[in-house]
Amino acid sequence: MIYVDSNALVYLLHDVKPKSDLVIDALSSSDEVYTSLRTIEEASYILVRIYLSKHYGARGIHQIREIIRKYGLEPVKDELATLRRLLSDYNVIILQDKATINEIHETMIKYKLLPGDAIIALTCKHYGVDTILTFDEDFRRVPWLKVNP
């Protein structure tokens, strides 16, 4: 049972070696793979940001929004479709995020996490997922999660 974080998904989709190989090994050896809508949103945004930076020179959220307003997201649809295929190929189960505002804030403060990471940690705890596939060292401060790799 493993939760896959956005950076692991992006490294795999962009074949960033050797990280993508580590992701493939972890996903292939896990009997159940989970993520959440929060993580899919984050991975989708990263894919959009990378694409628009590479093809349009976008730097920062304001330029990204301007490019989207002008051109739409049609140019990025293949990237997003690839993400959906990856989730399907590895039979990733999409969890609903589970956390209260108080839990999020307490977890942020106690473990020095950003809000999104606190939500992910709490979602894992709620569903009993004890391992997270991520390259984000911040999750190592969360006592109920083992970080892979």
**Residue whose C-alpha is closest to residue 33's, from 61, 12, 58, 17:** 12
Cα–Cα distance for residue pair 56/25, rounded to 1 Å: 34
The reported pLDDT for the residue numbered 52 is 96
The reported pLDDT for the residue numbered 42 is 97
The reported pLDDT for the residue numbered 77 is 96
The reported pLDDT for the residue numbered 138 is 98
The reported pLDDT for the residue numbered 129 is 99
The reported pLDDT for the residue numbered 72 is 96
The per-residue pLDDT string of the chain (149 residues; one tens digit each, 9 = 90 and over) reads: 999 999 999 999 999 999 999 999 999 999 999 999 999 999 999 999 999 999 999 999 999 999 999 999 999 999 999 999 999 999 999 999 999 999 999 999 999 999 999 999 999 999 999 999 999 999 999 999 999 99
The reported pLDDT for the residue numbered 43 is 98
Q: What is the CATH number of the domain that holds 42?
A: 3.40.50.1010
The 8-class DSSP code of residue 135 comes to S
Inter-axis angle of helices 37-56 and 6-13, nearest 10 = 40
CA distances from 10 to 3, 66, 83, 100, 143 (A): 14, 23, 8, 28, 25
Residue 97 buriedness (CB in 10 A; 0-12 / 13-18 / 19+) = middle
Q: How many domains does the chain have?
A: 1
The reported pLDDT for the residue numbered 62 is 96
For residue 83, the enclosing domain spans 2-147
The reported pLDDT for the residue numbered 1 is 95
Other Cβ atoms less than 10 A from the Cβ of 55: the count is 12
Cα–Cα distance for residue pair 3/131, rounded to 1 Å: 6
The reported pLDDT for the residue numbered 88 is 98
